[in-house]
A and B are shown apart, each in its own frame.
Chain A
Amino acid sequence: MRRGGRVLPRGLIPVVFFGALLLYSAWPWLPFGRPPATPTIVFYGFSILGDAMNKGVFPEFRKQWAAQGHGDVAFRSAFAGSGTITNQIVLGAPAELALLSLESDADRLADAGVIPAGSWKRLPEGGVVNRTPFVIFVRPGNPLRIADFADLTRDGVRIVHPDPLTSGGANWAIVAEYGAGFREAGGDAAAGEALLAGVWRNVASQAASARAARTQFENGFGDALITYEQEAVYDKSRSRLKADVVLPRRTILSEHTLVVIDRNVPKRDRALVDGFVRFLWSEPAQRIFVQYGFRSVRDDLNAGHPALGAIEDPFRIADFGGWRRAKKEIVEDVWKRRVMKIPAKP
């Protein structure tokens, strides 16, 4: 071992290094590094909401809330697949508000006793904050000439699809695929199942959330991706879209449901949370959603947006009897049992 001739004794380097590391990591919690505590909203959202909330809605609400003389407000947020955040909330994640991609996740929260059944229906628009139709992403130039869901059933088309177990978007996509066939044939269940089965024969990869499926597609997997139109509109607005978008002639408009988890809202933050809930349906917030590629619940705000394409036959989940029925009849019975051949639980 060499000794001497060094500026620092050899044992000092790790001590200095780890000391500096500890100081760096603890800095915000030290008495002189800590910013004053501000009232906080804990918001869980499904995957594609991230940018719209973080960059658009939260800052705007902060501005308005302060302008109304209430002082500052902070947001803690988590974004993941709708099913994932639902499971986390059931297991006790501290969400005060959750914007879920499908109402059946709200039903699951109610079934688990987290929120009163149907409590979201008392919110404006039955709890629906915004909408977006399901579309098909294809490679630039559309080399496989895909024009509708039916083209996805051709041999050799590899589809990236989110996983219905954890992704709300995947459930919407299943109803979109089934519904397109169903309505094309004038209301024929067998035609719906045939289209759904044809599409799923070609699913090459399943990701945990719509956003993750999108990332897989962008990383070069697959020929087509079935996902929310919002992703395309938003990325086009930043000229970051590396895919062509195919608007199916018939497709579903997904509706995204807000739930308030009252048991996680401390009394002192009640007015703040209620204020934010009201804000979500106000014109400024709805305009932000349109700006980030969603369709507003107010049609007049959508009309002015050129990127929101026209769909010949858009349908809603209500056309299939709402999510409770559609989840059972389309996702469980047709997709799971008959298309995927997963046997029912004993």
Chain B
Amino acid sequence: MSTRAYAVTRAGRRAAVPASLVVLFLLPLILMPLAAVFLFAFRGGPLAFWNGLKTPEAQFALRFSLLVAFATAAVNTVLGTFTAYVLSRYRFRGQRILGIVVNLPVAIPTVVVGTSLLLLWGPIGLLGRALPSGLQPMFAPAGVLLAHLFVTFPYMLGAVKPVMDEMEETYEEAAYTIGATTWQTFRYVILPTLKGGLFAGALLTFAHSLGEFGATVMVSGNLRLKTQTAPLYIFAQFEAGNIEAANAVAAVLALLSFFIFFVLLRYTGREGD
């Protein structure tokens, strides 16, 4: 396909040297660290790997992370698509500013996200102060979800809005002229064309949520079996010197992300560039 065509056209310009240079610097930067996770995870044999994974804490952390990732992907798919639709189809005052604000989470350090959520929703926070203690979101699963929604918000938007911007508006106009409502037009004209973008955006959101650390560590309270996500579990176990336990879960997260990335490339036609 396109990569192969690329390779053929550039075959004349000896690729061996620059390509091996790239591989050479990728070795210590990316490839060897990844290999180390798996080497360490399986060093004690598959049984030790399995023992590291089957503890209630590890199981909980993985499940909790996955559930939060599913929820984050679901919520941000709806919110992100709606935001993209509004930004792409309507013209209004403050549109540019809104466009910047919704993309801001990409640039904000995740630790700052965590801090700001605590300062808003925490028990001493601006809004959290008013909430009864049973409804406090911080140090509870809801807080983790809030943090992940914040951090991953732009991914859905980034996947869907360009598709929407490029969409021919004649189809929509045609739909309107035959009497379709805004919702029907969205549902039967826009949504089907968005399928690829929605899928890619949801996958990216899911993957980022699965690995989120900086904001989560601030808002989750790190409670084992209650609010400890898989990345927090890895960090806590590593700090406590239980490198095997940390590595088993790290290897699973790495495998999951490989698979998600593979699906992303394979099914949405995206190239890795």
Contact = CB atoms under 8 A, between A and B. Distances in A.
Interface stretch (A64-72, A75-83, A139-147, A195-203): A75-83
Given A11-B267, A24-B63, A88-B139, A215 B241 contact: yes
Interface in A12-70: 13-14, 17, 21-22, 24-28, 42, 47, 50
Contacts of B64: 25
A14 B263 contact: yes
A290 interface: no
A24 B62 CA distance: 10
Indicate the member of B228, B236, B240 with the most A CB atoms within 10 Å.
Answer: B240
A93 interface: yes
B221 to A, nearest CB: 4
Instruction: Indicate the size class of the contact surface on chain B.
Output: 20 to 34
Indicate the member of B139, B239, B259, B263 with the most A CB atoms within 10 Å.
Answer: B239
Indicate the member of A21, A26, A27, A79 with the most B CB atoms within 10 Å.
Answer: A21
A10 B63 contact: no
Interface stretch (A99-107, A206-214, A251-259): A206-214
A220 interface: no
B118 interface: yes
B138 A92 contact: yes
Nearest to B64: A25
B267 A92 contact: no
B234 to A, nearest CB: 13
Nearest to A84: B222
B224 A218 contact: no
A94 interface: yes
Given A92-B124, A211-B239, A22 B224 contact: no
B273 to A, nearest CB: 20
Nearest to B138: A92
Nearest to B69: A25
A214 B122 CA distance: 32
A22 B63 contact: no
A76 B240 CA distance: 18
Contacts of B263: 13-14, 17
B189 interface: no
Contacts of B60: 28
B223 to A, nearest CB: 5
Interface in B216-273: 221-226, 228, 236, 238-241, 259, 263, 267
Nearest to A14: B263
B38 interface: no
Nearest to B222: A78
Given A50-B240, A94-B221, A24 B138 contact: no
Given A80-B222, A91-B123, A92-B128, A215 B66 contact: no
Interface of A: 10-11, 13-14, 17, 21-22, 24-28, 42, 47, 50, 76-80, 88, 90-94, 208-209, 211-212, 214-215, 218, 263
Given A80-B236, A91-B138, 18 more contacts: A17-B263, A21-B66, A25-B66, A42-B223, A47-B240, A76-B224, A78-B223, A79-B236, A79-B240, A91-B118, A91-B139, A92-B128, A93-B221, A94-B139, A94-B140, A94-B221, A212-B239, A214-B241
22 contacts: A14-B263, A22-B70, A24-B63, A28-B60, A47-B240, A76-B223, A76-B224, A78-B223, A79-B240, A80-B222, A88-B221, A90-B124, A91-B118, A91-B122, A92-B123, A92-B124, A92-B128, A94-B140, A94-B223, A211-B239, A211-B241, A212-B239
7 pairs of A and B residues whose beta carbons are closest in the complex: A92-B123, A25-B66, A25-B63, A212-B239, A93-B221, A215-B241, A93-B139
